[in-house]
Amino acid sequence: MYCRKCGVEIKESAKFCDSCGAEVVKVKQKSYSEKYNESKIQGNKKDSEAKRREKHKDQKNPYISAAMFATLVALGLAIFPWNMIGKGIGISLPMRIAVVVFALLGDYHSTKARQVNNLLYSKYGFRIRENIVTVFYYLSIFVTIVGLFALFMYEA
C-alpha cells in the first residue's frame, strides 16, 4: 500500500502516512462480478419504483387535466381562423383577453401539476405523467407570451 499524497510505502494497519502525515484512505477495488451484482441491484430499484406506483396507485394529480384543458382552449382560441366567421372577431379586445386568461389558467394549473408531482416524488418516489406535465408547462408559457404580445401589440 502506498500513500496517495507522497507515494511512500506504508503499512496496511497505518491510519496516517509516516512521511507526510496524510490520512490513509483505503479504496476497495471491485471485481467485474461485484460490478455486475451492483447493476442488478440498480435494476431492482426500477422494479421497486413500479411496486411503489402500484402501492400508491390511488394517488392522483387533478391539475394535469385542468392544465391540458385551459392550455388547449387558449391555443385553440389563438389559432382558430376567426375571419371565416366574422371580420375582426379574432383580433377583438375581448378575444385577446380571453386568450390571455385561458393561457394564464393553463400556466397556473401546469405549475400546480409540477408542484404536486414533486410532492409525490418526495413522498413516494414517483411522478404522474411527468412528460405530459412538462410539455403542457412549456406550451402554456408559450401561449401566455403570445397572448400577452397580441394583447399589447395589436391595435383594434
The answer to whether the CB of 16 falls within 8 A of the CB of 5 is no
What per-residue confidence (pLDDT) applies to 70? 94
| pLDDT tier at 52, thresholds 50, 70, 90 | confident
What per-residue confidence (pLDDT) applies to 13? 86
| CA angle, residues 44, 125, 37, in degrees to nearest 5 | 20
DSSP one-letter code for 10: -
Average pLDDT value for residue range 119-129: 85
The dihedral over CA atoms of 17, 20, 24, 29, expressed in degrees to the nearest 10, equals -100
Q: How far apart are CA 69 and CA 102, in angstroms?
A: 9
Q: Looking only at Cα atoms, what is the longest distance across the chain? A: 91
Average pLDDT value for residue range 8-22: 87
Q: Is pLDDT above 90 for 51?
A: no
What per-residue confidence (pLDDT) applies to 28? 73
pTM over 0.85: no
Residues 122, 128, 134, 136, CA torsion sign: negative
| pLDDT tier at 60, thresholds 50, 70, 90 | confident
Cell of 93: 379586445
Q: Which helix (H) or strand (E) holds 112?
A: helix 93-124
What per-residue confidence (pLDDT) applies to 42? 64
Q: Which residue type sits at 62?
A: P
What is the pLDDT of the chain when averaged over all its residues?
A: 84
Q: How far apart are CA 20 and CA 83, in angstroms?
A: 83
What per-residue confidence (pLDDT) applies to 45? 58
